[in-house]
């Protein structure tokens, strides 16, 4: 059976020979997760969720950020997974449209801290989770992304696989964990097509569901092993065009964790190519905002369906407004954390550009989605000059990746917005050496009271 094959792959990854390259990319994924997670802990709904679950804190051995409070495994996975998806800086597997890291790494870290496993085992769990979730995402095809948020549904499998490996489940137990995870997978796109706080909770739920499924399977709870490819299973219900051969193609041989996209902008990834293209035109032609008369953007279908928001007013809306993020980039040169502060969102120079942005579907570009994320950007000046640029990919995609140095800089900037400089530096050094660590008690991440309680 499909899930049996996947389950045995996950269990085997605990002792499989992995290349230095694969382990290095796993560390990159973890560093990127911490970079995205820390600012998400101080942006709502993070503080609200910690308050809502306050009675669940102060127990267990897993750490909840940013204060380093202890919590039970599932609670830590939920809260940290939600935080990692809040600031919109978390990773992407381009071809499946899944953000695997937010849930997978949250679940893996919570289980690793609860069990006291070493850094190498933790990284192996992360690798297995990325491989399983990205392939199931590919198998569910583009049809799944019409209504469902793939990070909510598909990342559940990554969290389950990572948790199963770290908790020491065998292949059959892991298959049952994944089967149970499948029937817990949920998350509707409408949750982020409106101005709401539900989207980050998708990642938190996926992380918690993954941990729960593995913990249950460890005690003998069984799942329907045909839940993916059965006649009324996940493929039939949530895709209709699932190709399950993609779920195991290259599994254990070709590692998708080596081709992750790490975000260079703090907003919806469907806007990135347009931002990058606009910045090319700005630099190439020395354009200033007051010179611009019109901005035309041609993009793929999700860019138009999700990000056509001409008059956003809140941080959530602005992160999903192509009009806003392109305008902000043209005025301020980037789209980072400050872009969603009240002063920036009401900046007259940015607001003046919003009505000048014309977003439309480009059929040629759409035909290449999701394997290529491109945008065609044209800027017409008040003097009548028109400049056009086809941005073929996004900065951070595997064909235009962030270097290790750029990734470290991203970590320092984003984690450093919450941690003090010394703690951020110590944590970054520890993360680059994860495979050598005896435990996941990481420097600068645990509150003094929590350290005393766990001693």
Per-residue pLDDT of 223-248, as tens digits, reads 999 999 999 999 999 998 999 999 99
Confidence bin at 454 (pLDDT 50/70/90):
very low
Rounded Cα gap, residues 251 and 135, in angstroms: 8
Range(s) for CATH 1.10.4100.10 in the chain?
Answer: 2-263+402-454
**Please, what is the Cα angle at 33 between 198 and 20, to 5 degrees?**
145
For residue 49, which of 204, 160, 159 has the smallest C-alpha distance?
A: 204
Per-residue pLDDT of 311-363, as tens digits, reads 999 999 999 999 999 999 999 999 999 999 999 999 999 999 999 999 999 99
Rounded Cα gap, residues 124 and 152, in angstroms: 22
Q: Span 182-198, mean pLDDT?
A: 94
Rounded Cα gap, residues 224 and 219, in angstroms: 16
At 335, is the secondary structure helix, strand, or coil?
coil
Contact 105, 30 (CB under 8 A): yes
Cβ atoms within 10 A of the Cβ of 141, count?
17
The dihedral built from the CA positions of residue 393, 398, 399 and 405, taken in this order, carries a sign that is positive
Q: Which residues contact 219 (CB under 8 A, 6 or more apart)?
A: none
At 292, is the secondary structure helix, strand, or coil?
strand
Q: Span 274-298, mean pLDDT?
A: 98
Per-residue pLDDT of 106-155, as tens digits, reads 999 999 999 999 999 999 999 999 999 999 999 999 999 999 999 999 99
Q: Which residues contact 217 (CB under 8 A, 6 or more apart)?
A: 164, 169, 173, 174, 176, 177, 180, 223
Q: Which residues contact 108 (CB under 8 A, 6 or more apart)?
A: 122, 125, 126, 129, 159, 162, 163, 166
For residue 147, which of 186, 178, 180 has the smallest C-alpha distance?
A: 186
Say if residue 453's pLDDT is above 70. Answer: no
Confidence bin at 447 (pLDDT 50/70/90):
low
Per-residue pLDDT of 373-396, as tens digits, reads 999 999 999 999 999 999 999 999
Contact 182, 213 (CB under 8 A): no
Q: Which residues contact 443 (CB under 8 A, 6 or more apart)?
A: 423, 426, 427, 430
Say if residue 452's pLDDT is above 60. Answer: no
Confidence bin at 194 (pLDDT 50/70/90):
confident
Rounded Cα gap, residues 234 and 350, in angstroms: 43
Superfamily of segment(s) 2-263+402-454: 2-methylcitrate dehydratase PrpD (1.10.4100.10)
| pTM, 2 dp | 0.94
Rounded Cα gap, residues 452 and 100, in angstroms: 33
Confidence bin at 444 (pLDDT 50/70/90):
confident
Q: Span 176-191, mean pLDDT?
A: 97
Compute the mean pLDDT over every residue in the chain, rounded to the nearest whole number: 96
Range(s) for CATH 3.30.1330.120 in the chain?
Answer: 269-391
Contact 200, 86 (CB under 8 A): yes
Backbone angles phi, psi at 61, to 5 degrees: -125, 0
**Which class is 269-391 in CATH?**
alpha beta
Confidence bin at 455 (pLDDT 50/70/90):
very low
């Amino acid at each position: 059976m499909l899930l049996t094959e996947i389950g045995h792959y996950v269990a085997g990854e605990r002792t499989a020979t992995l290349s230095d390259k694969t382990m290095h990319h796993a560390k990159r994924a973890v560093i990127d997760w911490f970079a995205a997670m820390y600012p998400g802990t101080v942006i709502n709904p993070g503080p609200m969720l910690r308050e809502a679950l306050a009675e669940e804190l102060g127990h267990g051995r897993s750490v909840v950020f940013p204060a380093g409070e202890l919590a039970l495994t599932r609670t830590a996975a939920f809260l940290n997974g939600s935080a990692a998806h809040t600031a919109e800086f978390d990773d992407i597997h381009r071809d499946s449209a899944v953000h695997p890291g937010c849930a997978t790494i949250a679940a893996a870290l919570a289980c690793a801290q609860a069990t006291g496993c070493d850094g190498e085992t933790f990284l192996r769990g992360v690798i297995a989770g990325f491989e399983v979730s990205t392939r199931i995402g590919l198998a569910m095809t583009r049809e799944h992304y019409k209504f469902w948020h793939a990070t909510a549904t598909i990342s559940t499998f990554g969290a389950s696989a990572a948790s199963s490996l770290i908790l020491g489940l065998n292949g059959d137990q892991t298959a049952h964990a994944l089967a149970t995870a499948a029937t817990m997978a949920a998350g509707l796109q409408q949750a982020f097509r409106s101005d709401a706080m539900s989207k980050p909770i998708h990642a938190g739920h996926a992380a918690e569901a993954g941990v729960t499924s593995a913990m249950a399977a460890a005690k003998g709870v069984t799942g329907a092993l045909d839940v993916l490819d059965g006649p009324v299973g996940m493929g039939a219900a949530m895709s209709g065009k699932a190709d399950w051969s993609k779920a195991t193609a290259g599994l254990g041989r070709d590692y998708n964790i080596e081709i992750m996209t790490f975000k260079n902008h703090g907003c919806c990834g469907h806007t990135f190519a347009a931002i990058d293209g606009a910045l090319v035109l700005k630099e190439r032609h020395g354009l200033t905002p007051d010179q611009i008369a019109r901005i035309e953007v041609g993009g793929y279908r999700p860019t138009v369906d999700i990000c056509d928001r001409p008059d956003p007013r809140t941080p959530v809306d602005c992160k999903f407004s192509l009009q806003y993020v392109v305008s902000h980039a043209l005025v301020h040169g980037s789209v980072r954390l400050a872009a969603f502060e009240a002063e920036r969102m009401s900046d007259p120079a940015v607001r003046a550009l919003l009505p000048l942005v014309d977003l439309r579907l480009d059929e040629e570009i759409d035909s290449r989605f999701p394997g290529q994320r491109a945008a065609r950007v044209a800027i017409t000046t008040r003097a009548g000059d028109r400049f056009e640029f086809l941005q073929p990919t996004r900065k951070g995609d595997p064909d235009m990746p962030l270097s290790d140095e750029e990734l470290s800089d991203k970590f320092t900037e984003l984690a450093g917005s919450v941690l003090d400089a010394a703690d951020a530096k110590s944590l970054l050094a520890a993360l680059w050496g994860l495979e050598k660590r005896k435990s996941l008690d990481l420097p600068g991440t645990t509150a003094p009271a929590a350290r005393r309680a766990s001693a």
